Amino acid sequence: MSAAHPSVVERVLQPDHPASRGHFAGNPIIPGAVLLSETITAIEPGLDAGRVPFLITSAKFLHPARPGDRVVIEFYRTHRAEVRFACTVDGRAVLTGQMSCLASPTAP
């Protein structure tokens, strides 16, 4: 990430994640929608925005994430309402994106 001080959180995708059962027999992956949802859920507390609406403005799925993977999520605000994020597994990018957060951060 190009920000001076991105925040970092990690998530471990459940080894028996139910969404992976149909994606794909013998070679399971986590569907992109699930990975994106896990990412938003993971970074939301770090935005100090509470439960507010987010608008996904871009999302690129670069490599499959698999059940049991440890996903490292780096994120930062580019300015008041936009957040950029990047997810990696073992140093390999699996998802990058940007979203708008409709609430401004809470003052400390």
Res 8: pLDDT: 95
Q: Which domains does the chain have, with CATH numbers?
A: 7-101 (3.10.129.10)
Task: Indicate whether 50 pLDDT > 70.
Answer: no
Q: What is the DSSP letter of 2?
A: -
Q: How confident is the model at residue 4 (pLDDT cuts 50, 70, 90)?
A: low
| Coil/strand/helix, residue 32 | helix
CA distance 97 to 27: 25
Q: What is the pLDDT of residues 53-104, one digit of tens each?
A: 788 999 999 999 999 999 999 999 887 678 999 999 999 999 999 998 765 5
3 or 91, which is more confident? 91
Give the contacts of 19 (CB within 8 A, at least 6 positions apart). Answer: 30, 31, 34
Which among 108, 101, 107 has a CA at the least distance from the CA of 51?
Answer: 101
Question: pLDDT class for 6, splitting at 50, 70, 90?
Answer: confident
